[in-house]
C-alpha cells in the first residue's frame, strides 16, 4: 500500500524503509508514527524478510518529534502523550521483532530520531551526522530513549548528554559504543549492503532467537537467562536449518538456510 510519510522496498529478502519528510528533517508527526508502526508490524510477520533497514531522505535520518506541530497543538500535553506513545509502539516493534534492524544514519538524529536509531540492532552512520537527545533544549522532559541511551553509555555519561542536551558527532557516538561503524557518505549504502548480505545467508530463525536472547539478557537474572538459553537452543535444534547447518559442517561445505 502507498504511504505518505515513508517509502518501502524489498530486495532479496531485505526490507528497506525510508522516512520521507525531508522538509521536516524526517521528524515524527502522528502520521509517520502510525505508518512506521504499520510497516514494522507487517514486516515482523513476514517470514520471507530476513532483516530491515531504516534510512532517511535528504540531509537527516530523523529530527525527532515535529516541533512545529508541538507549537501549534492546542493541548500540548495530550499531543506529546499521543506522539510519544506512537513512537514507543515503533520502538517496541523494532526491539521485539526477531529480525535484525539496521539503522543507516544518513544525517542528523535528534530526540526521538536518536531513540529510533538506538532501537535498531546495528547502527551505521555517515561522518557528517550529528546526534543529540534534544528534549531538554526545548524545555521538554525526554519522551523516549533514556533507557536505551543509559544502558549503552552508563549513568554518568547519560546524565552528561541527556541533562545538558549535548550534541555529539558520529566519531563520538562510536567512541561511546552507540554505533557500530562510521563511514563516508558515499560509502553508506555499501556498508549497509555488507551487513544485509550476511543476513541473507545466515539462518534467520537462529538469528532472530539470538536477538531475543540479547534483549532478554538485559532484564533477566543469570539463572533465568541460562534456562531461557537452554530452551531456545533446544527449540532451534528442531529446525531444518539446524539439520542443514550441522550437515554442512560435517560435509565441509557452506550451508544453505531456508528459514524452516
Encode pLDDT of 219-230 as tens digits.
Answer: 999 999 999 999
pLDDT on residue 221: 96
At 128, is the pLDDT very low, low, confident or very high (cuts 50, 70, 90)?
very high
Residues whose CB falls within 8 Å of the CB of residue 1, separated by 6 or more in sequence, listed in order: none
Q: What is the pLDDT of residues 231-245, one digit of tens each?
A: 999 999 999 999 999
pLDDT at 2: 83
% of the chain residues with pLDDT over 90: 97
Average pLDDT over residues 149-157: 96
> What are the DSSP E strand ranges found in 164-256?
168-169, 181-183
Classify residue 75 by its DSSP letter. Answer: S
**Burial (Cβ within 10 Å: 0-12, 13-18, ≥19) of residue 117:** buried
Amino acid 126: pLDDT: 98
- pLDDT category, 193, cuts 50, 70, 90? very high
- pLDDT tens digits for 194-226? 999 999 999 999 999 999 999 999 999 999 999
Using DSSP, state whether 1 is helix, strand or coil: coil
pLDDT digits (tens, 9 = 90+) for 85-127: 999 999 999 999 999 999 999 999 999 999 999 999 999 999 9
Q: Rounded mean pLDDT of 9-20? A: 97
Under the banding of pLDDT at 50, 70 and 90, the label for residue 56 is very high
Average pLDDT over residues 69-81: 93
Checking if the pLDDT of 1 tops 80, the result is no
What is the pLDDT of the chain when averaged over all its residues? 95
| pLDDT over 70 percentage in the chain | 100
pLDDT for 190 equals: 97
Strand partners, 6: 19
Contacts of residue 135, Cβ cutoff 8 Å, sequence gap at least 6 = 111, 141, 142, 143, 162, 165
Predicted local distance difference test score (pLDDT) of residue 175: 96
What domains can you pick out in the chain, each with its CATH number?
A: 6-200 (3.90.226.10), 203-250 (1.10.12)
Q: What is the pTM of this model?
A: 0.94
Amino acid at each position: 500500500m502507498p504511504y505518505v510519510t515513508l517509502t518501502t522496498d524489498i530486495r532479496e529478502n531485505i526490507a528497506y524503509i525510508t522516512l520521507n519528510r525531508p522538509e521536516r528533517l524526517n521528524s515524527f508527526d502522528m502520521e509517520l508514527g502510525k505508518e512506521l508502526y504499520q510497516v514494522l508490524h507487517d514486516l515482523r510477520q513476514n517470514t520471507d524478510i530476513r532483516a530491515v533497514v531504516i534510512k532517511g531522505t535528504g540531509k537527516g535520518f530523523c529530527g525527532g518529534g515535529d516541533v512545529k506541530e508541538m507549537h501549534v497543538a492546542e493541548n500540548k500535553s495530550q499531543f506529546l502523550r499521543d506522539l510519544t506513545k506512537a513512537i514507543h509502539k515503533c520502538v517496541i516493534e523494532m526491539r521485539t521483532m526477531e529480525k535484525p534492524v539496521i539503522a543507516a544514519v544518513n544525517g542528523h538524529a535528534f530526540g526521538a530520531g536518536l531513540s529510533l536509531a538506538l532501537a535498531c540492532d546495528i547502527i551505521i552512520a555517515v561522518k557528517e551526522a550529528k546526534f543529540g537527545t534534544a528534549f531538554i533544549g526545548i524545555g521538554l522532559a525526554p519522551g523516549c530513549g533514556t533507557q536505551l541511551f543509559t544502558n549503552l553509555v552508563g549513568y554518568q555519561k547519560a546524565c552528561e548528554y541527556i541533562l545538558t542536551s549535548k550534541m555529539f558527532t558520529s566519531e563520538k557516538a562510536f567512541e561511546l559504543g552507540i554505533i557500530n561503524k562510521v563511514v563516508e557518505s558515499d560509502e553508506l549504502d555499501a556498508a549497509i549492503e555488507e551487513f544485509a548480505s550476511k543476513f541473507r545467508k545466515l539462518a534467520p530463525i537462529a538469528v532472530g532467537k539470538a536477538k531475543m536472547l540479547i534483549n532478554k539478557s538485559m532484564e533477566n537474572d543469570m539463572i533465568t537467562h541460562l534456562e531461557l538459553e537452554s530452551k531456545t537452543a533446544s527449540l532451534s535444534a528442531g529446525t531444518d536449518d539446524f539439520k542443514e547447518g550441522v550437515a554442512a559442517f560435517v560435509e565441509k561445505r557452506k550451508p544453505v538456510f531456508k528459514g524452516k
